[in-house]
Structure 1
Amino acid sequence: MKKIIYMLCFLFILQMVQPYSIYASSKQLVAIGDSIPYGYNLSKDNQYPSGKAFPYMVGEKAGLEVTNLGVPGLTSQELVAAVHENEVFRSTIRDADYVVLYIGGNDLLNLLKKHKGIKGIEMDEVAIVVRNLLFNVYSTVMELDKLTNGQILVYNIYNPYPEKGKSLSQPLHYINVQYSSLIELLSHFTEVKLVDAYQAFKGHPEYILENDVHPTVEGQIVLANIGLKEIKE
């Protein structure tokens, strides 16, 4: 199964890597993760990362060349495997001055899909998913730190279903508290910063596409702006 996932990931990346070079810059930004940095559903066919995805906006405003390695549907476990084993990922990341990471949404969405909604989900199941997610993010950041001297920007997880109210916002708040603690710990010995997508999207359902879980263009702009703030500080 691991080999199958690896091969699928590799085939995805061969098709999806889209360097962004409006600016003739020697500085590089590499985006990794799932469909959020990919800009899923902002174009008709989703064949390639959308030029409206937030990594490209960051690149345009900061004068950085961007390579988008986002893979729709990617989980945190699959990202760990790609960063450790996929040479497309590894060789691209080595040249990065900035690595932008958004991952974890599919870990949680897969649990919701399994139960066909939030009802019936036991806290023990949530705890296992959160534990694995945090460990995978830790493993990913540690490997990124080995590969590059660049700054690592880790986005936490916004609420994809704001209409669910407290039934989802409270668990997500807990998850992001743990996320924040992890990045704070890692920041003492790696070049990593947390980018708070959760707070930026809180109270703004208009940042999410209707009947979808992905950001609108406005939501992507917000993700770009909060990332730029961390780059400039």
Structure 2
Amino acid sequence: MELKRRFTVLLLGLLMLFPGTSLAELDNSKGVLVSLGDSITSGYNLANPESEAFPYLINKDRYHVQNLGVPGWTSGDLLQALLFDETYKEAISTANVITLFIGSNDFLQALKLEDILRNPSLFDPEKMEKDIQEATDVFSKNLKQIMNIVQSDSSASIILYTIYNPVISDESFLWELVYFIADEMIKDLNNNIISNYHSPHNSVEVVDAYSVFSRNQASYIITGDIHPNAAGQQQLADLAITALLKPITGEELSEENVLDTDVDLLDDENDTKTKKEKTNINEEKEQDKELFSLKTPYFNKFMDTFVLVTKYEYFTYFVAGFVGLFILWFLVAIRKRKKKRRAI
């Protein structure tokens, strides 16, 4: 008892000498990493989310992780939490680093991918693009408010992820079409993220999950799912680790991480060739649009995608096979006609 009493007195004396220091700060010098997002952030469908989800893989020896990702959340849900939930308000105010991965559910709810998986006949490209465009507009407004709140209430460095395409194509015509339409819509969402938040005037680093996952979905997404597997989560963590190696000031994206979009984020000197290629591609698209002069803008975008798909060799084989069958049918028909004439 006497030993315990002396220890208590000593502890109180230390607190009197350092009144502004908490016990937690005396015991631990790690920073705080707060992760905001949806099921991707929470590690949904992983065997061990608390060790495999990407927030826990980001310099784990340097940060205490507060994972506030919630499965199913849209940008609207996160905005409401930041406005009214004290847990979220307190978390961002004490954070040293904040990761933000949101928007996938905004897109998926508009895409209705699960419904299409169950019943491909529900695939309606015109309605799909209209729904996704509306979702893109809502997402843009929500993200603007989310970023305003986070930047005004926190001095933390912010790592903002672009959205990856979750569609795994089996290279059939239908799924290549779904993949391309989804890809075009996701590029629109990511253009908004890059153009509005990746600038030298703020403490935001936009990291490019889209490019990492593009055409690598089978390697980084759980089979039969839309969520990252352990390898995919590690890729997301690596993006943040790389970003944290330098001061986060919103510098330009490196050339290998720039999306193949109409947003020009490269230096003029090194981008001359890229600009010319983009110009040629855009001219080809405009020529293709003239062939399908329908009044519906969503259908025009669908036709852009259709033209891209027709350039794939798989479609060429399909057309060649169809033409071959037609010629065979034609020759058989002629032969039958000749036999009838001889019989007469």
When the two structures are superposed, what TM-score results if normalisation uses the length of structure 2? 0.56
1:36 aligns with 2:31: no
**Whole-angstrom CA distance in 1 between matches of 2:94 and 2:28:** 15
Is the contact made by 1:162 and 1:169 (CA closer than 8 Å) also made in structure 2?
A: no
- Does the residue aligned with 1:50 lie in a helix, a strand or coil? helix
Q: Residue 60 of structure 1 aligns to which amino acid in structure 2?
A: K
Q: Residue 131 of structure 2 aligns to which amino acid in structure 1?
A: E
Is the contact made by 2:74 and 2:105 (CA closer than 8 Å) also made in structure 1?
A: yes
**Whole-angstrom CA distance in 2 between matches of 1:221 and 1:122:** 32
- Is the helix fraction higher in 1 or 2? 2
> Comparing both chains, which one has the higher relative contact order based on Cα–Cα distances under 8 Å and sequence gaps of 6 or more?
1
**Whole-angstrom CA distance in 2 between matches of 1:231 and 1:161:** 29
When the two structures are superposed, what TM-score results if normalisation uses the length of structure 1? 0.81
Q: Which residue of 1 aligns with 2:80?
A: 81
Is the contact made by 2:45 and 2:227 (CA closer than 8 Å) also made in structure 1?
A: yes
Q: Which residue of 2 aligns with 1:200?
A: 212
Q: Which residue of 1 aligns with 2:187?
A: 173
C-alpha spacing 1:67/1:97, structure 2 compared with 1 (3 Å): same
Overall identity of the aligned pairs, in %: 31
**Whole-angstrom CA distance in 2 between matches of 1:162 and 1:212:** 9
Unaligned runs of 5+ in 2: 1-26, 117-121, 170-174, 247-344
Aligned pairs for 1:93-132 (under 5 A) are 93-113=92-112, 116-117=115-116, 119-120=123-124, 121-132=127-138
Q: Which residue of 2 aligns with 1:58?
A: 58
- Does the residue aligned with 2:66 lie in a helix, a strand or coil? strand
Is the contact made by 2:163 and 2:210 (CA closer than 8 Å) also made in structure 1?
A: yes
Deviations 1:165-224 (CA, angstroms, capped at 9, x unpaired): 313222222321222112125x52x32111110011112121000000000100000000
Unaligned runs of 5+ in 1: 1-22
C-alpha spacing 1:115/1:66, structure 2 compared with 1 (3 Å): closer
Deviation of the 1:114 alpha carbon: 8.6
**Whole-angstrom CA distance in 2 between matches of 1:170 and 1:150:** 32
Q: Residue 58 of structure 1 aligns to which amino acid in structure 2?
A: I
- Does the residue aligned with 2:52 lie in a helix, a strand or coil? coil
Is the contact made by 1:29 and 1:59 (CA closer than 8 Å) also made in structure 2?
A: no
| Bigger radius of gyration | 2
1:229 aligns with 2:233: no
C-alpha spacing 1:100/1:131, structure 2 compared with 1 (3 Å): same
Q: Residue 178 of structure 1 aligns to which amino acid in structure 2?
A: N
Deviation of the 1:90 alpha carbon: 0.6
**Whole-angstrom CA distance in 2 between matches of 1:214 and 1:149:** 30
Deviation of the 1:26 alpha carbon: 3.2
C-alpha spacing 1:66/1:108, structure 2 compared with 1 (3 Å): same
Q: After the TM superposition, list the runs of 4 or more consecutive aligned residues in structure 1 that deviate by more than 3 angstroms.
A: 23-26
Q: RMSD in angstroms over aligned alpha carbons?
A: 2.1
C-alpha spacing 1:50/1:26, structure 2 compared with 1 (3 Å): closer
